[in-house]
């Protein structure tokens, strides 16, 4: 049996990935303009989050999932930086929330690293 916090992270990733399909326009708005095929990238990243969340819940694939989550979160840093730099992408969030999201990425990476 996996620890409860591993189930929690897997579940959070599933929800986050599902939200890419439920509200794709929000995610398209926060994508940096230098990334191609924005709508496709939103859907692919949503699928990746869901797949990695499910993989994290399987002891046979949890190590691959943990490394995949870490890489994905590193890639998502560009989105968080873009949100800080672009008012439209900021989604009217306060600056302090946008700044807090960056160290949160590293906390999530550390959380995922626990399952390597």
Q: Using an 8 Å Cβ cutoff, are 52 and 83 in contact?
A: no
pLDDT in tens, 64-80: 999 999 999 999 999 99
Query: Cα separations (Å) of 55 from 1, 64, 77?
Result: 14, 8, 22
| pTM confidence score | 0.94
Q: What's the pLDDT score for residue 8? A: 98
Q: What's the pLDDT score for residue 74? A: 98
User: Considering the chain, what percentage of its residues have pLDDT values greater than 90?
Assistant: 100
Q: What's the pLDDT score for residue 10? A: 98
Whole-number Å distance between alpha carbons of 97 and 88 = 15
pLDDT (average), residues 8-27: 98
Our measurement of the distance from residue 84's CA atom to the centroid of its chain's CA atoms, rounded to an integer in Å, reads 17
Query: Cα separations (Å) of 64 from 19, 28, 59, 60, 94?
Result: 23, 27, 10, 9, 35
pLDDT (average), residues 10-14: 98
């Amino acid at each position: 049996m996996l620890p409860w916090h591993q189930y929690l992270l897997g579940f959070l990733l599933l929800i986050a990935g599902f939200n890419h399909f439920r509200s794709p326009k929000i995610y398209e708005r926060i994508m940096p303009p230098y990334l191609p095929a924005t709508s496709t990238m939103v859907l692919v990243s949503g699928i990746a989050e869901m797949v990695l969340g499910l993989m994290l819940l399987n002891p046979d694939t949890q190590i691959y999932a943990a490394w995949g989550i870490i890489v994905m979160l590193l890639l998502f840093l560009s989105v968080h930086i873009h949100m800080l730099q672009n008012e439209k992408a900021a989604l009217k969030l306060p600056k302090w929330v946008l700044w807090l999201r960056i160290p949160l990425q590293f906390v999530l990476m550390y959380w995922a690293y626990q399952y390597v």
